[in-house]
Amino acid sequence: MTTRKLSLSLVALLLAAVPFSPPRLSAEPWTHEESDLKPDGKAVFGRLENGLRYVIYPNKFPVEGRASIRLFVDAGSLMEEDDQQGMAHFLEHMAFNGSKNFAAGTMVERFQRLGMGFGADTNAHTSFRETVYKLELPKVDEKMLTEGLHLFRDDLDGMLLGEEEIDKERGVILSEKLARDSVETRVMEAGYEFAMPDSLLPKRFPIGKEETIKGMKRQRFVDFYQKWYTPKRAVVIVAGDVDIPLVERLIKENFSDAKAQVGDSPDQSLGKITEGRGLVAKLHTELEAPATEISIEVVKPADKEGDSVSRRREKMIRNLADGMVNQRLSELAKKENSPVIEAEAYNFDMFKFVANSGVYAKCKPENWEPALNLAEQELRRALQHGFTPAEFAEAKATYLKGIRLRAEGKDTRKNAELADGFVRALGSELVFTDPEDDLKRVEKELVTVTAEDCLTSLRDAWKGNDIQIFIGGNLKLDNASETILAAYKASAAKPVAAPAQGAEAVFAYSNFGEPGKVVARNDVKDLEIIQVVFANQVRLNLKKTDFEKNSIRVAVNFGGGKLDAPADKPGMVPYAQSVFRQGGLEKHSMDDLRRIFASKTVSTEFAIGDDTFTLAGKTNPQDLDAQLQLLCATLSAPGYREEADRQFKMNLEAVYQELEHTAEGVMQNKVVGFIHSDDFRFVFPPREEMGRRTLTELKAWLTPMLKDGYMEITVLGDIEVEKTIELVAATFGTLPKRADKRPNYDEARKMTFPEGPRTKDIKFTTEIPRAYALAYWPTDDMLDVKRTRRLILLGQILDDRLRLKIREELGETYSPTSYHVASDTFPGYGYMTAMATLKPEQVEQVKPMFLEIAEGIIKEGISDDEFQRAREPQLQQLVQMRRDNRYWLTRVLPNCQSQPYRLEWCRSLVDDFTGIKKEELNDLAKTYLGGAKSITMGLLPELEKAPEGAGKAAAAGSVSK
């Protein structure tokens, strides 16, 4: 809890991925029953006589006739005893391994036949204070709802907990524990132990300990299950296009007779927050860490007051204060010779037990002391001198914008988003409020809030003498605690001046000249797409949808992407992706733009695809003109600021540390490079070469494509078509004339899958004993889309066989997976891949298994049942996918005028997938899955001894099935 990564990443896992606060066993009220906040009026809340609660939320988006359902169980790792560490998560796994109505080894297959994919539609997660079971129902008839609720009832009190199944699952969970091990989680555990030595939290990470995972007997599973899985601790959540009386009847039929098997138990004590330590410091060394991270924190017992209007106002004021500190830290990180790579202030509560306020800095290890000084002094500057009117205005505008965005999109929230929102509200004992009510309340309250209120809130949070300084990462110090404390005290003795008053910035790019003329227009009526060509050869693709209310997505595709990459300047692709957008505009830095657009919903993203550059943003109807102006200015007047180059190069050491010393980094660089025959566009060059890239080179490379490269713009969502054409005409339509067609790039399109060797191991030094086994089978490109779709389905069947053989039968790995990749840029290039996370000694056993499983498909053929189980979830996903703006933005509309086959692919998608025959997949397996051209690989760690002071830990936060 004492690095930003620890604090904020944990919040993402625990609070965003569902935190939990201590429940009350006896009364079991809904939070809104004890609050002056009103719940969302569409929600139907209920309670059975046995204490089980339920909530039903009617919703038709994105697709009618579907629902997301959850079983929330108020039981997590904090309920475990010392000899049960890892039990709550282990028990979640056992829910998939046999129950009264679902025999062991049949549950996944049963739901696949109903159109629900394993992982995507049937899943679960466990955290410190909860276990949540999840189903995405493709239908909402009585049969499907009954099936889902039967499973949830079995989860509550019908698990069989077979001894053989428990023993088989041990290896899977140990593999998951290994997959989650990292230097970041080791630092996190050390931070917890330092921050809360008298608390239960550092002793109860959900993944558990290896010795208890290996040794827990069946009776201890039964003990935990019967003690904590009770009706009073359970909530059924249903969000979707459902008949409310039907759902209520089915919940009552399935759960009314449930009862606590050994009574209801009070929560475990979480211990206490240690107070009275004064100023303390700790260094936790992990030399493989990509950087050094510093946190200065105040850790206090949390206020146990419930959710209310006043509490939300207090939280808003505190967030405004941190937001203003962050404005300053953002600018300081970009200054020349800044000691920090990034810095941030934060605050959060956990479980109504601990309240945390902190300021964080990330730096190179040699910069730890000036980085500590910067964090300490900027926090103190705010505490002593407060905030300027300009800072306060920006913070209010930014905060209100976030609340308004949620309100504008409330009517097109997806079922899963709603269901998971109820889980978050339950976990943190918050009222599930209507976003429009939130907006009205915040608009009213912001009028009364002052900058002085924010200063008072910040001072209250930091009041007291208990300050903890935690440094984690690639740093070694002699007499670390004393050295850190001396540096902190020296910094604290230096005076800090009041912040400078900022001047108001005005956007300099609101008028681009005479609007362009439309010279061609084509209505693609069956797909409801409009294609426009302006006189300057800028092309526009429009689609009005109702999938996201008050939301518009914009993408500007231009040039050739990686096809245009200069071979004599390796590393230019990652350099450009990191630096171009961060350079801002000629007349505005990124911090200027943040201030200018604080009240508007605009954004800018830059990506380099295989065959195109993309500038993208997400906005709303009111701010579409500002979004288009910002993107057009980014294209026509990029800033190429030195601060962007500095930040990139400051972070290079951290980047290469990950690329060279983590399995994931090696996968991203060396493995991806190998399967692309070490093409310079898909690998990172040596560290020294990457450091040679310059803004001058970047400008020389991008300028021709920015100036006149072929361009197509996509705008889709909640748009007015004619108004959108006018706005594009007034921005991109004014630009100088552009190329009227895309170059062929014949030479640049040449890409080959490696001819050999047939097996290859890549070794890397690390302290993390995690390895990967991989297999690749070369296939073909995407341009024969019928073949590609069948190979996708074949990949699903191979994935299912990997699950059955390697995970379920052998228990060797937590997450074996397979999928197909086909290029629409490089002719003839595609591959099927399989991979698994393993212990190093398992790699040589599993590599040939991939080939054997593939050969089994060739020899035995695909059964009718596994064909159905692969196809049905895919068909259900296609229906939902076509009701998602992201599908149209990434698969159909971009460059659809120069690549009209994308429209044909869209037209044929559902019918073609529906018409796939099992025999076609058998033929493709024979063509591509033979061993003659396959390549197996191992990613093998060469283990280093951990340096003194380095910790060993498993992943924190929530863990999933």
Q: Report DSSP letters for 513-579, one per residue.
A: SSPPPEEEEEEEGGGTEEEEEETTS-EEEEEE-SSSTT-EEEEEEES-GGGG--TTSTTHHHHHHHH
The pLDDT value recorded for residue 960 is 56
Q: Model confidence over 491-511: pLDDT tens digits? A: 999 999 999 887 778 999 999
Stretch 344-366: mean pLDDT: 96
The pLDDT value recorded for residue 944 is 67
Smallest CA-to-CA distance from 484 within 138, 713, 194 is with 194
The answer to whether the Cα torsion of 14, 17, 21, 24 is positive or negative is negative
Of residues 371 and 9, the one with the higher pLDDT is 371
- What are φ and ψ of residue 796, in 5° steps? -65, -40
Q: Which residue has the tokens 């339950």?
A: 426
The pLDDT value recorded for residue 954 is 35
When pLDDT is cut at 50, 70 and 90, the band that residue 813 belongs to is confident
The pLDDT value recorded for residue 926 is 97
- What are φ and ψ of residue 821, in 5° steps? -125, 130
SS3 for 72-126 is: EECCCHHHCCHHHCCHHHHHHHHCCCCECCCCCCCHHHHHHHCCCCECCCEEEEE
**DSSP code of 367?**
G
pTM for the model: 0.93
Q: Report DSSP letters for 166-232, one per residue.
A: HHHHHHHHHHHHHHH--HHHHHHHHHHHHH-TTBSGGG--TT--HHHHHH--HHHHHHHHHHH--GG
The pLDDT value recorded for residue 618 is 98
Q: Model confidence over 526-554: pLDDT tens digits? A: 999 999 999 999 999 999 999 999 999 99
Q: Model confidence over 142-161: pLDDT tens digits? A: 999 999 999 999 999 999 99
In 718-824, beta strands by DSSP E: 759-766, 771-778, 817-822
When pLDDT is cut at 50, 70 and 90, the band that residue 776 belongs to is very high
When pLDDT is cut at 50, 70 and 90, the band that residue 106 belongs to is confident
Contacts of 483 (CB under 8 A, 6+ apart): 477
Stretch 63-86: mean pLDDT: 96
Q: Cβ distance 884 to 539 under 8 Å? A: no
Smallest CA-to-CA distance from 774 within 664, 938, 548 is with 938
Q: Where are the alpha helices (DSSP H) in 861-917?
A: 864-881, 885-887, 901-914
The pLDDT value recorded for residue 4 is 36
The pLDDT value recorded for residue 945 is 57
Q: Is residue 951 predicted with pLDDT exceeding 70?
A: no
Collapse the DSSP code of 602 into the 3-class scheme (helix H, G, I; strand E, B; otherwise coil) and give the result. Answer: coil
CB atoms within 10 A of CB 642: 12
The pLDDT value recorded for residue 867 is 96
**DSSP code of 271?**
B
The pLDDT value recorded for residue 504 is 78
β-partners of residue 607 are 614
Q: Is residue 861 predicted with pLDDT exceeding 80?
A: yes
Q: Is residue 105 predicted with pLDDT exceeding 90?
A: no
The pLDDT value recorded for residue 120 is 77
Q: Which residue has the tokens 């910067």?
A: 374
Which of 5-9, 51-55, 287-291 holds the top average pLDDT? Answer: 51-55
Q: Model confidence over 923-946: pLDDT tens digits? A: 999 999 998 899 999 999 998 654
Smallest CA-to-CA distance from 241 within 61, 460, 26, 368 is with 61
Q: Is residue 20 predicted with pLDDT exceeding 80?
A: no
Q: Is residue 41 predicted with pLDDT exceeding 60?
A: yes
Q: Copy the structure tokens of residue 750.
A: 């040449």
Strands 605-608 and 613-619 come out as: antiparallel
Smallest CA-to-CA distance from 814 within 344, 177, 322, 361 is with 177
Q: Model confidence over 613-644: pLDDT tens digits? A: 999 999 999 999 999 999 999 999 999 999 99
- What are φ and ψ of residue 311, in 5° steps? -65, -40
The pLDDT value recorded for residue 114 is 85
* Mean pLDDT of the residues in the chain: 93
Q: Cβ distance 434 to 26 under 8 Å? A: no
The pLDDT value recorded for residue 529 is 98
Measured CA to CA, the distance from residue 234 to residue 246 in angstroms comes to: 20
When pLDDT is cut at 50, 70 and 90, the band that residue 685 belongs to is very high
Q: Copy the structure tokens of residue 505.
A: 């910035």
Collapse the DSSP code of 359 into the 3-class scheme (helix H, G, I; strand E, B; otherwise coil) and give the result. Answer: strand
Radius of gyration of the chain from its Cα atoms, rounded to whole angstroms: 28
Q: Model confidence over 702-737: pLDDT tens digits? A: 999 999 999 999 999 999 999 999 999 999 999 999
- Which of the residue ranges 102-111, 789-798, 839-848 would you say has the lowest mean pLDDT? 102-111
Amino acid at 642: E
- What are φ and ψ of residue 790, in 5° steps? -75, -35
Q: Is residue 7 predicted with pLDDT exceeding 70?
A: no
The pLDDT value recorded for residue 815 is 78
Q: Which residue has the tokens 């190069």?
A: 649
Q: Write the burial class of residue 120 (CB in 10 Å: 0-12 exposed, 13-18 middle, 19+ buried).
A: exposed
Measured CA to CA, the distance from residue 769 to residue 589 in angstroms comes to: 43
Collapse the DSSP code of 59 into the 3-class scheme (helix H, G, I; strand E, B; otherwise coil) and give the result. Answer: coil
Q: Is residue 653 predicted with pLDDT exceeding 80?
A: yes
Q: Cβ distance 472 to 190 under 8 Å? A: yes
Measured CA to CA, the distance from residue 526 to residue 908 in angstroms comes to: 12
Q: Is residue 948 predicted with pLDDT exceeding 60?
A: no
The pLDDT value recorded for residue 10 is 35
When pLDDT is cut at 50, 70 and 90, the band that residue 18 belongs to is very low
Q: What percent of the chain has pLDDT over 70?
A: 95
When pLDDT is cut at 50, 70 and 90, the band that residue 11 belongs to is very low
Q: How many residues does the chain have?
A: 961
The pLDDT value recorded for residue 930 is 92
When pLDDT is cut at 50, 70 and 90, the band that residue 958 belongs to is low
